[in-house]
Structure 1
Amino acid sequence: MAGCATAPLDEAGTLQSYAGLQQSDGFFTRSRISVSRDDVLAAKTIKIIPTVFSAPAQRTPFTAAQRNLVTNAVDRALCAGLSERLQVVGPSEPADLVVQAVVTNVAATDPIAVGVSKSASIAKSVLLPGVPVPVPRLPLGLGSLSLEAEARDPQGRQKAAMIWGRGANALLGQGRVASEADAYSLAASFGGDFSTLLVTGKTPFGGGLPSLPSMERIGFLLGGTPKYPACETFGRSDGVVGFLGAAVGVPPNWTDNGAAAPR
């Protein structure tokens, strides 16, 4: 059986243009990207329009709360990554670039399969305490996530675009017992990849070792204050509690409070 889920890279019609998109894949990720490097690197400020589910993606049996958890995870990761070079501004402020992502396809996680994997991991720790034997996740019911995103200038012209797809991997992590669990985890991966495209002006895949995150970004990932107030819109990271929750396998909404309440 395959050790990871597949995610489609179909053109969903949410981008202004699909011209010039080039295949650029990572080890687990498939993507097609285009970028006007000079224009992107010249930008100083950026605005994030909240991520949404496309109409076809809404057919996945997620509740509104589950969809919101996934889209907010995208936006929070985008805000953290973009803050490494760009100033993230609020929705009513002018910006050199405006970015928005759309979830185009999503496959739900099978909570029962994840639960069985967790049980196997617990059994190993009881029967073979202290023995470093990895217990991979069952390659059943793995979730996946596909998105399209673009960055536009104030005149609405596309300056960067990405079609992105990735499936959960049976060898990396045990998953969480929730149907939206893999989509939630992959949402953060997408946010990191697309923000890297806009921060560096080049593909996030195959470019050597990644640069180390700033101390501000590390602090934000640990639940601290974001670098720019606009990022508060997407709530604080669940930090250490989230890492522990992922290790135990509890549903994402047990540790992630989601977007900040409107004021």
Structure 2
Amino acid sequence: MQRPGTLRLWSAVVSLSLLAGGCASAPLDRAGSLRSYDNLKPSDGLLTRTLLNVHKDDVLAAKTVAIVPTTFSSAAPTPFTEEQRNLVTNAVDRSLCTGLSERFEVVDPSQPADLTIHAIVTHVNPTDPIAVGFSKGASVAKSVLLPGVPVPVPRIPIGLGSLSLEAEARDPQGNQKAAMIWGRGATAFMGSGRVAEEADAYSLAADFGGDFSMLLVKGATPFGAPPSMPSHARLKALLGGAPKYPACESFGRAPGLVGMVGDNLGLPPKWTDKGATNGRD
């Protein structure tokens, strides 16, 4: 039997953590990479802030897309090493490729395409690995003090990372057909994080890729509508299988179950993600 006092104490710790501020902020900076910033309208999700514009008919008429690899804005200071930046940008591109494959044929950037996609990282805040370590310690302590009791252990709301990007889809003539400025911070309520400076940015990169690809797949804001079931091809790619189109192989395969285990254990992304590749057998 568990002591009622212990349960009440742990519940109080959880409540105070939730009240202390559970989400990092992410600015909607402009890097100047978009052909136009006109007609961008707010369209926020529960945790995400965006400004977006989409020419629905033109986007829905498109059949093929090419993805120019994501880069960091030269005007935005970053605390990351080149290896960390590559992990984040490749996570963006892999997520974009998987999401866009739901409706489009993804081709190599050297080939003609109805739409060409390019994203730029405009702002990033690093994760505090020490704070994540304390969160992992709290999770272990809970399992010892309250084994079998389903008490959530929120992440310590200190040192939460954030990520901001801008992205655009252009037609062969260079005209903007869709654009989005996107910002989101990590939250204390969803997972205890990974012990690495780039961990939150890496996770949020995949979220951005999902949102921007959905904007193009639906020709409308990705927020507010009920989620749809992913296709078999998408599930296969998310679990580390071969992507639907060969062009996506350049971004490597998703870590799949290994990545899920690594995330649960708090392992750095580079321990489970092999990154970009020139293709696999």
Coarse TM-score class (shorter-chain normalised): over 0.9
Q: Does the 8 Å contact 2:96/2:210 carry over to 1?
A: yes
Q: Which residue of 4, 23, 26 maps to 2:45?
A: 26
What is aligned with 1:155?
173
Aligned residue in 1 for 2:32: 13
Asked if 1:254 is matched to 2:271, the reply is yes
Q: Which residue of 2 aligns with 1:230?
A: 247
Partner residue in 1 for 2:4: none
Aligned 8 A contact 1:56 1:105 in 2: no
SS across alignment from 2:258 = helix
1:175-205 CA distance string (max 9 Å, x none) = 0000000000000000000000000000001
Determine if contact 1:23/1:32 at 8 Å carries over to the other structure: yes
- The TM-score normalised by the length of structure 2 is 0.91
Identity %: 70
* Pairs within 5 Å for 1:1-263: 1-57=20-76, 59-207=77-225, 209-261=226-278
TM-score by length of 1: 0.98
Q: Distance in 2 between matches of 1:10 and 1:116?
A: 31
- Residues 249 and 278 of structure 2 are in contact (CA less than 8 Å); yes or no, is this contact kept in structure 1? no
Structure 2: state its 5+ residue gaps: 1-19
Are the counterparts in 1 of residues 49 and 182 from structure 2 also a CA contact under 8 Å?
Answer: yes
**Matched residue SS, 2:21:** coil
Shift of 1:10: 2.2
Report SS of the residue matched to 2:124.
strand
Mapped contact 2:252–2:279 kept (Cα < 8 A):
no
Between 140-149 and 123-132, report the one with greater CA deviation. 123-132
Which residue number in structure 1 is paired with residue 10 of structure 2? none
Q: What are structure 1's unaligned runs of at least 5 residues?
A: none
The letter for the 2-side match of 1:19 is D
Deviation larger for 94-103 or 4-13: 4-13
How far did residue 128 of structure 1 move?
A: 1.2
Secondary structure at the residue paired with 1:99? strand
Q: Is the 8 A contact 2:125 2:161 kept in 1?
A: yes
Q: Contact 1:50–1:75 (CA<8 Å) still a contact in 2?
A: yes
User: Which secondary structure does the structure 1 equivalent of 2:158 belong to?
Assistant: coil
- Partners of 2:92 and 2:205 within 8 A in 1: yes
- Three-state SS of the structure 2 residue aligned to 1:30 is strand
What secondary structure does 1:46 align onto? strand
| Cα separation, 1, equivalents of 2:271 and 2:259 | 9
- 1:189-229 CA-to-partner distances (Å, cap 9, x unmatched) read 0000000000000000112x111110100000000010000
Question: In the alignment, is the contact (CA less than 8 A) between 2:31 and 2:75 conserved in 1?
Answer: no
